[in-house]
Amino acid sequence: MKARFAKILVAGEDYAVMDAVTQRVYVSPVTVQRLADRKRGIGFRSLALIEPPYDPELDFHLRIYDVRGNESRDCFDAAAACAVYAVQKSLAFGTELGFSSLWGRIRAAGGAGGTVDLWADPPDFAPAAVPFRAQSAEKIYILQSQGRNVLCSAMRFGTPFCAAESVDAGGDSAGAAGEGSSEADRLCAGLAAHERFPEGCAACMYEIVSRDQVRLTGLSGAGIGVAAAAAALAGISRGLLDPAPQVRLGDQLLRVSWGGGSGKICCQVPVTPVFDGEVEL
């Protein structure tokens, strides 16, 4: 069985997108592993399937698989790729689309200059909601990773998330050479497995540059867009950033907006279609 797909970059990371609305698509873990191989398959960070909606108020359901073939909650960035695909292939009538996913509800709308605006519900900082082991909710916690004390914010932003302030671990290239490529990435990996997150978590590390800019220095278990959003949300919640800061990653600039409280989050991410193809499943 063959299936059409597109390779699309979101903040420099590659996603393979398949339409499961107008074509029959079934993938097993073995199939996904074969397709993820960068030498013999398509090669991608994640495989995204656009499915018919489960909720009549939304346009599509989004299903994500990691390179091991496991269904993943890491859906935030992939929604941008799927929105571009759905509009280009005329799967939807409008340019503002709603997705359901394991991550939660995400709305996506085409922005200016090859960007997509992603809208989502605000984070929940309550320890029980994350979940995170703490006696009371705090804006900042001190955790250890790789033998170093790290200042962290714990939140549920679709999934449990730890956003840590930089400890000068080096790196201005989170994700650029692959997750785990810098000391900051390794610190994030330690935080992602920290015992105070009983379900585990995604993690990012950031450095405040000014009130309107933050630098993403490391990440683990998350796409660049959602990591950028978490870094900005942590800084805004701590009063260190203005409500609409830029998040810098190398030469890329992402913008995150949040007025606080129950207001929606908006994250603007760069999206670049690369090529279309057809593959045997």
> For residues 207 and 224, is the Cβ–Cβ distance under 8 A?
no
pLDDT higher than 70, residue 180: no
The C-alpha atoms of residue 140 and residue 163 are separated, in whole angstroms, by 10
Residue entry with tokens 């449990």: 160
Q: Tokens for 199, please give them.
A: 């379900």
Range of the domain at 150: 141-263
The C-alpha atoms of residue 59 and residue 48 are separated, in whole angstroms, by 15
> For residues 239 and 90, is the Cβ–Cβ distance under 8 A?
no
Q: Tokens for 178, please give them.
A: 């692959």
Q: How far apart are the first and last CA of the chain?
A: 6
Closest CA to 207 of 172, 179, 237, 244: 172
Phi, psi of 269 (to 5 degrees): -120, 145
Mean pLDDT of 167-195: 72
pLDDT higher than 90, residue 168: no
Judge if 20 and 75 occupy the same domain.
yes
CATH value at residue 174: 3.10.310.10
What would the pLDDT profile of 106-161 be if each residue is shown by its tens digit? Answer: 999 986 569 999 999 999 999 999 999 999 999 999 999 999 999 999 999 999 99
The C-alpha atoms of residue 14 and residue 142 are separated, in whole angstroms, by 34
The C-alpha atoms of residue 186 and residue 190 are separated, in whole angstroms, by 6
Q: 267 or 250: whose pLDDT is higher?
A: 267
Q: Are strands 159-165 and 148-157 parallel, antiparallel or unpaired?
A: antiparallel
Judge if 87 and 65 occupy the same domain.
yes
- Mean pLDDT, the chain, integer: 93
Judge if 248 and 275 occupy the same domain.
no
Helices 76-88 and 224-237: crossing angle, nearest 10°? 130
Question: How many domains does the chain contain in total?
Answer: 2
Judge if 206 and 233 occupy the same domain.
yes
Judge if 114 and 154 occupy the same domain.
no
Judge if 101 and 36 occupy the same domain.
yes
Q: What is the pLDDT of residue 172?
A: 47
Q: Tokens for 187, please give them.
A: 């610190």
Judge if 49 and 162 occupy the same domain.
no
Chain-centre distance for alpha carbon 173: 16
Judge if 150 and 96 occupy the same domain.
no
Phi, psi of 22 (to 5 degrees): -105, -5
Judge if 83 and 10 occupy the same domain.
yes
Residue entry with tokens 């399937």: 49
Share of the chain above pLDDT 90, in %: 89
Judge if 14 and 75 occupy the same domain.
yes
Judge if 12 and 101 occupy the same domain.
yes
CA atoms within 13 A on the CB side of 242: 9
What would the pLDDT profile of 215-252 be if each residue is shown by its tens digit? Answer: 999 999 999 999 999 999 999 999 999 999 999 988 88
Whether the upstream peptide bond of residue 131 has omega within 30° of 0, thus cis, is yes
Q: Is the dihedral of CA 87, 90, 91, 95 positive or negative?
A: positive
Q: What is the pLDDT of residue 177?
A: 39
Judge if 116 and 145 occupy the same domain.
no
The C-alpha atoms of residue 96 and residue 90 are separated, in whole angstroms, by 13
Q: What is the pLDDT of residue 182?
A: 84
Mean pLDDT of 201-226: 96
> For residues 230 and 163, is the Cβ–Cβ distance under 8 A?
yes
| DSSP letter for each residue of 61-108 | EEEEE-TTS-EES--HHHHHHHHHHHHHTT-SSSSEEEEE-SS--EEE
Q: What is the pLDDT of residue 214?
A: 97
In angstroms, what CA-CA distances link 248 with 98, 225, 274? 27, 11, 23
